[in-house]
Amino acid sequence: MSAPQVAVVTGGARGLGEAIVRRLHADGYRVAVADLGGASAEALAKELDGTATTARAFTVDVADRDAPAALLRDVLAAFGAVHVLVNNAARTQATPVMEIGADELDTVMAVNFGGTFRACQVFGAHLAEQGYGRIVNMASLAGQNGGTATGAHYAASKGAVLTATKVFARDLAARGVTVNAVSPGPQDGETVRTVVGEDGIEALRAGIPVGRLGDPAFVARMVALLASPDAASVTGACWDVNGGLYLR
């Protein structure tokens, strides 16, 4: 019997990334928990598998231009293969557009777009060479509607991720690699509560057509479906989960 597939999740130690890691691990993947917070990644990996057989932590800063190549090398050394990449690492800031400084703009873009783009290049090339792979990029409602609660730089970076997803999907399709995006709206999690504050949650919920925040566990299931071998006919797509805030 062949070994379970290996999935790499960036920003995998907390929030939506943690939910994705847990879902993929529960589905039988060996999971590389890649995160800037090495201690948090290590704690999650140990909780999932104390023997480091099916879950391992990797400390990575996706803003570092050399990070994707180093991460690929380290995961291959640890697990012997890679089949799935989930680009989830992101930096969220809600600075008013006219107050965003050059350094803050560069930082947000380097993580959210640059990290995703370079990982698609590095992992995409490896997956194409082996003739199979799944890449799922975490986009955002903000990248579709220009953002409301999030900063303009965050919204712009996620819009760029959506376009890059199409570009890589077209380039890699003939070599067995699919590239898709999932675009969540406000989720019932730490990031949204930090951005809008506990006092703003009810007002935010009231403005969502379905009247509720999204469930990170459901988003994780969407990611897992796109990551599966059965998703061979889906590429270049963006799956929305925004409660009706953006319809197309």
Catalytic residue among 29, 132, 154, 246: 154
DSSP string, 59-101: E--TTSTTHHHHHHHHHHHHHS---EEEE---------GGG--
Dihedral angle computed from the Cα positions of residues 86, 22, 186 and 159, in that order, rounded to the nearest 10 degrees: 0
- Spell out a b/e string for 125-140, using b for 16 or more CB atoms within 10 Å of the CB, else e: ebbbeeebbbbbbbbb
Angle between helices 15-26 and 38-48 (to 10 degrees): 30
- The HSE-up count of residue 46 (CA atoms within 13 Å, CB side) is 6
At residue 173, what is the residue type? A
Looking only at the bridges linking them, the beta strands covering 84-87 and 55-59 are unpaired
146 conformational bin, left if phi > 0, alpha if psi -120 to 50, beta if neither: left
Residue 29 annotated as catalytic: no
Amino acid at 114: G
**What is the chain's length?**
248
Q: Where in 97-192 does DSSP place strands (E)?
A: 133-138, 177-184
Catalytically annotated residues: 154
